[in-house]
Amino acid sequence: MKRKRLLAGNWKMNLTGKEAAALASQIATGAANLQRTEVWVAPTFTSLAPVAQALQHSQVSWGAQNAHWEPCGAFTGETSVPMLKELGCSFSLAGHSERRHIFGETDELVAQRVFGILKGGLTVVLCVGETLKERESGQTNAVLERQLRAVLDKIEPEQVKQVIIAYEPVWAIGTGKVATTKEIEAAHACIHSFWNSKLPDTCPPILYGGSVAPDNFAEIVQVPLVGGALVGGASLTFEKFKKLIAISEEVTVLVRN
Ligand code: 13P
């Protein structure tokens, strides 16, 4: 299937509402009339309302960095899908490595979030990726398969179109140490073939994430099975994000999966 390349900015716990709205306004202007690229941003919960306002007439979509699986209830510190939908969110991340490794979210808990997001009608960006220790001990594929299996075992075929996968090797996140194109290609191929072995010919687009920057992005987007990028640091300044958008627009390789 041919589709637009997806460039998603994960702003993590950065920017106040005012700062986020200002950046969103710049991105809205920079992302007008794109031919090959779809642009998404994921601000903090407190910035969602101002960002929604800044992006309401733009081609940029916004979403959350996390979501709970219940619509409401006694879940201190959590945010539900109906709350996100009220703010115009079209997606939520789930299973980001910072959630898994700093906050101890297990594959099962991530799967609960994924199914809550899908049931609520949003797209989910399911993040997977291995730590350096897991890579060095040859477990990369096993980890990716385990993280995917938690979702794949229960997903209904009609829910797959609401899924995007992000491959983010934990050791490449925020470190400036980007994975090589060979490593990215191998991990994306593993995800693609494992998914298709369970649900033939349905593997969703796979984004790469981890130290994506203007000086490495052109190479990354040309790697087979790379459907775009989930970008942290370089999505926080308009100058850098604008360059990523420009690179995505220039590279003519078609996105296929
Ligand atoms: P960096 O681009 O800052 O490495 O972060 C990647 C990431 O975690 C996006 O979700």
Span 62-82, average pLDDT: 98
Interval 10-57: pLDDT, tens: 999 999 999 999 999 999 999 999 999 999 999 999 999 999 999 999
Domain boundaries, the chain: 5-250
CATH topology of domain 5-250: TIM Barrel (3.20.20)
- Does the pTM surpass 0.75? The reply is yes
User: Which atom from ligand 1 is nearest to the alpha carbon of 173?
Assistant: 4
3-state DSSP assignment of residue 232: coil
Ligand 1 pocket, mutate which of 7, 14, 231 (most atoms under 8 A from CB) = 231
Higher pLDDT, 176 or 210: 210
Question: Which residues are known catalytic residues?
Answer: 96, 168
Please, which pLDDT band fits residue 3 given cuts at 50, 70 and 90? confident
| C-beta of 232 in contact with ligand 1 (< 6 A) | yes
